[in-house]
Structure 1
Amino acid sequence: MLLDLKVGNLTEPVSGRSWDGPEIHRQVARRIARFKRHQLAAGDRVFLPFGNRLEFFVELLAIWRLGACAVPIDARLTPFEIDTLVKAALPRLAVVDDATDAAVLEALGAAGVGVIDTVDTGDEEALAGRSRLDDDALILFTSGSTGAPKGVVHTHRSLRARWVSLREQLGVTAFERTLCLLPTHFGHGLICNCLFPWLSGQHLFITPPFKPEIIMRLGALLDEHRISFMSSVPSIWRLALKLARPPSAGTLQRVHCGSAPLSAHVWDEIRRWTGTRQVCNAYGITETGSWVAGLSDADCTAEDGLVGEGWGAVVKVLRAADTSAPLDADSECQAGEQGFVWLNTPALMKGYFQRDDLTESAVIDGWFLTGDIGFMDAQGRLVLRGRERDEINKGGMKIYPADIDAVVERFAHAADVCTFAIDDAIYGQTVGIAIVLNQRDDETVRALHKWMTVHLAEHKLPSRWWIVDEIPRTSRGKINRDAVNAACIGLPSLELPKILAGGEKA
């Protein structure tokens, strides 16, 4: 590997469990032997519908040592969503833990996927050769769990390119004791917050993701474990700044915030709370191996949306957003002029899994069209101003409206639907939905709610509903989600809790 692969220690602060280097290697060797018994071969894919615990990381290394590809999956997905992803990725095996829902286990078994409990290893140990650089290492599904899945494929080469660039730009000293509060099934939490420091020999502390009870004692957690680095998303700070006491030990050296850029006000509040000025927006996209730009030295004036310079990447802001023709140098925006953000990096994904059409719509000649709007300031630093994409950013979890629309469209009494983002004081954004129903009675609403709970993970369920006569569309027949939001937000939403409670009484 291009990095020093002396893995660091792993600790679960909540449970108190911890593995040092020799124990990690022993656990990996046992899993290699177990995978061999299950005849896992190079090129096979393995689902990991669990995460944020010690076993996840040794499963990952064992899979890679055998030349196979890991597919981390959100543990909260429904059996329907799991089945959709299984049909797309065709995994050979799935490794689960004691928290995996029985219905998910049944769905995996029904699809013909071999299921293994992560603690079922036996005492036999085995070794295996390392994967080749251009082998598929990770598939991270970013959308489509209810319809047409969109899986980002990273090879070992692209992952190492990301870690090497981070090491060159940031070093590893500040990451000596790294805390991860984020899920390990998406790029930010896995590739950068966890694997970059851990595979650079640093000590990784991993907690269950997005747990309010953990965030409320964040300051104590940082002090107790002498944490030097943590990454985050804005929703963590909305809670921590209000309810958690600041750390007092002075060990925190650096803090990243991803998912959505911080405002200058919140940025300064985080600096005061953490006790360090080295706080920055880490601009990360799954397709580019997450952290692709930021401030190597964050001791500067906080500004709304300020990201910084590329980390192992060339960042350009262009007037064009077209991947069907080569980029035109004349379309590059001047300093301060807003345009579309493009990235060129050796850490770019291999492509979208078996979706050449999506890859071609996002990549041209090695340049990736991010879908974000921004500008370069007079110092050559990227500043983000918004997102062109429709995704809903709920506390750092990306929710795609089309996924929810696809489920509702299959409900017998739904004539039309539009899902959109609405502002939320805690999560930043949450899910709103406008629905045209053939029948508007409470029983139909309860039936639709039940349908959605069966087919959607809990965090994707809309929190506010509007029953409307029609969904407005553009002249080209397309839905403008912002326009639907604007039409609904001033109107009373459905009293969903009251309607659902009425069904329980009946």
Structure 2
Amino acid sequence: MLQLATLIKHHATFRPDHPAVVFEQERLTWRQFEARVSQCARLLSSLGVRQGDRVATVLTNCRELLEVYWAVPSIGAVLVPLSPLLMASGLASLLRDSGAVCLITQRSMAALVDQVRDELPALSADRVLMVDGAIGAYPDYAALLNNCPAGQADPVTVCQDELFNIMYTSGTTGLPKGIMHSHFVRSMYCTLFASAWRMTPESVVLHTGAIVFNGAFVTLMPCFYLGARYILQRQFDPEEAIEIIGRERVTHTMMVPAQIIALLESPSFSPDKLASLEMILSLGAPLYQEHKDLLNRHLPNRFYELYGLTEGFWTILDKTQSVRKAGSVGSPPCFYQMRIVREDGSDAPPGEVGEIVGRGPSLMLGYYGRPDLTEQAIRDGWLFTGDLGYADSEGYLYLVDRKKDMIDSGGVKVYPRDIEEVAVRHPAVSEVAVFGVAHEKWGETPVAAVVLQANASVDAEELRDWINERVGARYQRLHAVQIVADFPRNAAGKTMKRTMRDAYPSSMPAEPHA
């Protein structure tokens, strides 16, 4: 038997008065947090939720979401976290696909739920709970919680291979797929990441992004496993994050690159204010080398980088290697293996670019209801990532790009990241996204969308020429630069390149690479 929800009861028993969860003005000890988790479990049981049933959440960051995360597996049910940025059709599709019998959400989502509930016969109105007050036919979560009968929920035995959650991909490269994680896989998140991040029960962990995405579990699971303090920000704000780090003496935090850049560019940024940090983890997308170097100068021996897929393969760049292996995203941790595979299926030698393939104990059970896609992704126990990279002679991984983002310009492979690393060196550039657009002669040609630094002044043509003078090859020269206020991003903070590419004019006039 392996039941992760016993972690909360363990900490409530053996360190009941230690701070557990901090959310805005709320501060809960392990005893208080366990009481809320147990009450939530009793509520779900009283609503008829049984072992194996799916419980979906559509919530922004809040304390209630954290307690649901631990209550659902405690009764053997399956957690299905969904993004509050979903539109009606997407919400209906994922609720239907997962077979959710209960939904915990917020009043701002009520109109969308009204639109789709007729399509979801398993989801009755009394099982759609609102954390911020009843509305229409949907009851108030807090009121039900307070009126729930006292006592323990029926004990449930959960085997290690049973489902803990279904995590839907963000859909940046296609329709969302439901990734199945077992209790065993989530236990690997607890133990392996606790070791990798050098966390202890005295650590203080700050999470600034949306916890509905799998990246949040990279620090959430080891923190709750160890009984450390978990601080959740309602939504990312760099000035507030800096203030929280200083006030709470935060030791560990993880951010996506856009958040790290915002932190570095904040007028409140100061190494002294962040002196308590032992880890700054970047994940979700490659962080530009320019910003890695800046972090390592201002806050030495704190920077980690994670390359990982929700499907279950990771590499970690440890803080002790972040300068020596600048440009790398690290090496596979213990119990993991990595290969770089050519198009013909053979293994590439060090230095040669190929598809990144890996395996380890965090590998998903598969895509829910899609054995066909599972067979494409996992072959002979190896996960084929769809990402391109190479390994050096010491086994450290260097990302090149996603296969789907690679630009084929006149038969030449152009990797957007190579151009982005040049563009971000311009003093006016804050962020850049390079993507391919159709071209009459070359098939595709690279274009860059750029977010400028605050108060920066440079026109698009001047910036394009500056970049084109510095790229390493003629075929990397940009056809055009678009200056934008911000990028379209999903709720995980990842840049939606495909959205920008699709919005760009569908054809380009023929022009030579030169």
Calculate the TM-score normalised by the size of structure 1: 0.72
Tell me, yes or no, if structure 1 residue 198 matches structure 2 residue 224: yes
Alignment of 1:383-394 (within 5 A): 383-390=398-405
Is this contact kept in 1: 2:40–2:145, CA < 8 A?
yes
Match among 244, 259, 266 for residue 221 of structure 1: 244
The structure-2 alpha-carbon separation of the partners of 1:251 and 1:43, relative to structure 1 and needing over 3 Å to count, comes to same
RMSD across aligned positions (CA): 3.6
Please state how far the C-alpha of 1:10 moved relative to its aligned partner.
Answer: 4.1
What are the within-5 Å matches in structure 2 for residues 79-118 of structure 1? 79-98=88-107, 100-107=108-115, 109-110=117-118, 111-112=120-121, 113=123, 114-118=127-131
SS of residue matched to 1:239: helix
Q: Percent identity?
A: 21
- Unaligned 5+ residue runs, structure 1? 323-327, 394-400, 402-417, 428-452, 472-483, 491-506
Cα distance between partner residues in 2 of 1:488 and 1:201: 60
Partner of residue 232, structure 1: 255
Equivalent position to 1:288, from 292, 312, 315: 312
3-state SS of the aligned residue for 1:287? coil
Deviations 1:467-506, CA, capped at 9 Å, x for gaps: 85xx5xxxxxxxxxxxx6xx3999xxxxxxxxxxxxxxxx
In the superposition, relative to structure 1, how do residues 67 and 293 fare at CA in structure 2: closer, same or farther (>3 Å)?
A: same
Task: State the SS of the aligned residue for 2:205.
Answer: strand
Q: 1:51 to 1:299 in 2, by over 3 A?
A: same
Give the match for residue 233 of structure 2. Answer: 207
1:284, distance to aligned residue in structure 2 (A): 1.8
Distance 1:342 1:281 in 2: 18
Contact kept? 1:158, 1:348, Cα under 8 Å = yes
Q: 1:272 to 1:104 in 2, by over 3 A?
A: farther
Output aligned runs, 1:291-370, within 5 Å: 292-301=314-323, 305-320=327-342, 331-370=346-385
Q: Which residue of 2 aligns with 1:270?
A: 295
For 1:215, give the aligned amino acid: P
SS where residue 173 of structure 1 aligns? Answer: coil
**Aligned partners of 1:357, 1:177: CA distance in 2, in Å?**
42
1-side partners of 2:188 and 2:492: how far apart?
Answer: 33
The one-letter code matched in structure 2 to 1:161 is M
Contact 1:220 1:245 in 2 (8 A): no
Aligned CA distance change for structure 1 residues 16 and 9 (closer, same or farther; 3 Å): same
Taking the aligned partners of 1:89 and 1:185, their CA distance within structure 2 comes to: 15
Give the structure, 1 or 2, with the largest relative contact order (CA under 8 Å, sep 6 or more): 1
Do structure 1's residue 153 and structure 2's residue 180 form an aligned pair? yes
Matching residue of 1:434: none
CA distance in 2, matches of 1:349, 1:426: 39
Cα distance in 2 between the residues matched to 1:207 and 1:349: 28
Query: What are the Cα deviations for residues 152-193 of structure 1, in whole angstroms up to 9, with x where unaligned?
Result: 11011111123222234444239810111121111111x212
| Equivalent residue for 1:30, pick from 15, 18, 39 | 39
TM-fit CA distance, 1:225: 1.1
Deviation at residue 217 of structure 1 after TM alignment? 3.6
SS of the counterpart of 1:227?
coil
SS in 1 for 2:385: strand
> SS at the partner of 2:261?
helix
Q: Which amino acid aligns with 2:395?
A: G
Q: How does 1:396-411 map to 2 (within 5 A)?
A: none
Say which SS state the counterpart of residue 379 (structure 1) adopts.
coil
In the alignment, what sits opposite 2:468? none
Q: Which residue of 2 aligns with 1:435?
A: none
Q: 1:247 to 1:147 in 2, by over 3 A?
A: closer
**C-alpha deviation, 1:134, in angstroms:** 1.3
Match of residue 209 from structure 2: 182
Q: What is the CA-CA distance between 1:139 and the residue it aligns to?
A: 0.7
Question: Once the 2 structures are TM-superposed, how far is the Cα of residue 423 of structure 1 from its aligned partner?
Answer: 3.3
* CA deviation vs aligned residue, 1:437-479 (integer Å, no higher than 9, x gap): xxxxxxxxxxxxxxxx9xx9999795687585xx5xxxxxxxx
- How far the C-alpha of 1:194 sits from its partner, in A, is 1.5
Q: Which residue among 41, 47, 50 is the counterpart of 2:59?
A: 50
C-alpha contact (below 8 Å) 2:350/2:392 kept by paired residues: yes
Unaligned runs of 5+ in 2: 12-17, 132-141, 407-415, 418-434, 436-443, 454-487
Question: What CA deviation, in whole Å up to 9, does each residue of 1:37-60 have, x standing for no partner?
Answer: 111011110111014221112112
Q: Does 1:259 align with 2:268?
A: no
Whether the aligned pair in 1 keeps the contact of 2:194 and 2:200 (CA below 8 Å) is no
Q: Give matches, 1:136-147, under 5 Å.
A: 136-143=163-170
For 1:140, what is the secondary structure of its paired residue? strand
Pick from 11, 19, 33: which aligns with 2:28? Answer: 19
Number of residue pairs matched by the alignment: 408
